[in-house]
Structure 1
Amino acid sequence: MNTFKLFIGIIFLILTFSVSAQTFTFTAIPDEDESRLVERFSKISDYLAQTLGIEVTYIPVKSYAAAVTAFRNNQVQLAWFGGLSGVQARIQVPGSQALAQGYEDQFFKTYFIAHHSTNITPSENFPNAIKDKTFTFGSKGSTSGRLMPEFYIREHFKQAPEKAFTRVGFSGDHSMTLAQVQAGAYQVGALNYLVWETAVSEGKVDLEKVNVIWTTPDYPDYQWTIRGDADSQYGKGFTQKVQHALLNMKDESLLKRFPRTSFVPASNSDYQAIEDTARAIHLLQ
């Protein structure tokens, strides 16, 4: 009996060690240039590792679709998604949960920007003058750079972007959208308002060449989403521990990297409107 108990004890220790030695891995949609993202999320990785007491690794990806795929395949267990990519990920991994969003993500918006050569002036009303111009979205999977601007374009022009504009592009990320419109490669574009505001504050925008011409109504956007099987992988209550760590991220230097003033609780139901919009314009089947 003592031998049996010793055997069971050894097995328990082995299992406990293997669980504690696991690496918790996360990624983020590539909505800005890679160097900025690596700088931001390397610091977040350090914070989570210290708070959760396990090894945490950030894995960069090349596209929004790649972030969703990595989540689906359990290559990552947590992800900083946009509204649409989060919906896509949770559909593909049942039981997954939106845990936290930036305070600002409850009231997110898209800026439509135009090159000065268009002579389009800022307005509170949808800018009908953008019709028959060249237009660039961000990533095809972006909420603020594609889903919401396309929704309003279709709503106002009653036709697809390919019909409303002389040329339509997908820059890949918000920073590139800004660069392309500022350079005149596209006359008009749509991007995440925080990327614009950050670039302006850092002196990276030539306001003589490009300006904001319209702001969409608010909508919910970015969030942290965790896989539904996280507790079975890392132990009972792990999901709650991760949420607690995210909500208690108070270090201003970390928050400024997003940039967000704080993180607040999020739930899957917060993004039902995003899912409904995506289905309405056939970005979700």
Structure 2
Amino acid sequence: MTRFSCWILALGLVACTPSADTVDAVSPAAETDDVFVYTAIPDRDARQLEARFSAVTAELEAALGVPVRYVPVTSYAAAVTAFLNDEVQLAWFGGLSGVQARLRQDGARAIAQGTEDPEYHSLIIAHHSTGLPPGETLTDALRGRTFTFGDKGSTSGRLMPEYFLREHFGEAPGQIFSRVGYSGDHTRTLQLVQSGAYELGVLGYTTWDSEVARGTVDADKVSVIWRSPGYPDYQWTIRGDADARYGDGFTARVQQALLNMTDPDLLARFPRSGFIPARNEDYAPIEATARAVGIIEDGAPR
């Protein structure tokens, strides 16, 4: 059991329900019942996402024998809305957005996750003007700084970092930092901190590793100063009515197609070393944490 799971059990928290934020729906919707449409949370810039999912589309079409189309969305909340409105039947969600979608769509299932996703990590990064050194714990040296999260619906860019900050300081982020922002995605967080627009920021570790590999990180301007404990994060979630729409056994075929994605170039675009099965139950700690920090309100239906 991870340290994070132990904290959740100690708090005695229970499963929670999704946010009711209203967002713009994805467009266009599926044109026929034969087209299998999917989307993903916009955790990177649009060019990286297009390269990633054009490869996924080709893999799914070859395995499933039906037309497959990827449609982008402009926010994490829009991805959830598109899923709930049946504008997409499959989505690459973060931990929180997946929980929100599954709790509001009867029978929706998490079916696959990256090999690394059961033990995901957030990183706090700092502009070098702060003079902050790396450390294993959060410290009072963070107080009074400017700080940016990613998207408000991001697990690694908002939910879990906020949980760890509250757990350590006993205060909300607005009380810890002089200014709190929301960049919208992980790559934008890196850009804002590297430019000095914010002194501190938080992002998922796979984005950091990917940007280091791409050569976009200037080590003279920005560095990692803290790594979070592990927690469950990204996953593929499919609607509960997929078999009724595309035929018996279709969900199992989609799951197997995702697990069979082993092309090194495709995996490097996520980046993941592979995909493994996932279950809804794997994300119970994320539900509990969202309730604990008030992202999912008490009293909302389960």
* TM-score for the superposition, normalised by structure 1: 0.92
Is 1:105 the equivalent of 2:105? no
- Amino acid across the alignment from 2:100: Q
Aligned to 1:49: 61
Within the candidate set 194, 205, 208, 2:220 is matched to 208
Q: Distance in 2 between matches of 1:174 and 1:123?
A: 21
Within the candidate set 232, 250, 260, 2:272 is matched to 260
**Secondary structure of the residue that 2:266 maps to in structure 1?**
helix
Alpha-carbon offset, residue 163 of structure 1:
1.1
Alpha-carbon offset, residue 127 of structure 1:
3.3
Alpha-carbon offset, residue 21 of structure 1:
6.6
Is 1:174 the equivalent of 2:186? yes
Within the candidate set 149, 170, 178, 1:137 is matched to 149
Percent identity of equivalent pairs? 58
Q: Distance in 2 between matches of 1:73 and 1:219?
A: 29
Q: Which runs of 4+ in 1 moved over 2 A?
A: none
Q: Distance in 2 between matches of 1:112 and 1:259?
A: 19
Larger helix percent: 1
What's the RMSD between the two structures over aligned residues?
1.0
Deviations 1:148-183 (A, max 9, x none): 100011111111111111100000000000000011
**Secondary structure of the residue that 1:141 maps to in structure 2?**
coil
Q: Which moved more, 1:26-35 or 1:125-134?
A: 125-134
Aligned to 1:13: none
Matches within 5 A, 1:49-88: 49-88=61-100
Aligned to 2:135: 123
Q: Which ranges of structure 2 fall in alignment gaps of 5 or more residues?
A: 1-31, 298-302
The structure with higher relative contact order (CA 8 Å, sep 6+) is 2
Q: Distance in 1 between matches of 2:87 and 2:231?
A: 29
Alpha-carbon offset, residue 106 of structure 1:
1.2
Aligned to 1:243: 255
CA contact (8 A) 2:33 2:245 kept: no
CA contact (8 A) 1:99 1:266 kept: yes
CA contact (8 A) 1:127 1:213 kept: no
Deviations 1:39-86 (A, max 9, x none): 110110111011100000000000000000000000000000000000
Structure 1's 109 and 26: CA in aligned 2 closer, same or farther, altered over 3 A? Answer: same
Give the number of aligned pairs: 266
Greater Rg by CA:
1
Alpha-carbon offset, residue 256 of structure 1:
1.1
Alpha-carbon offset, residue 284 of structure 1:
1.1
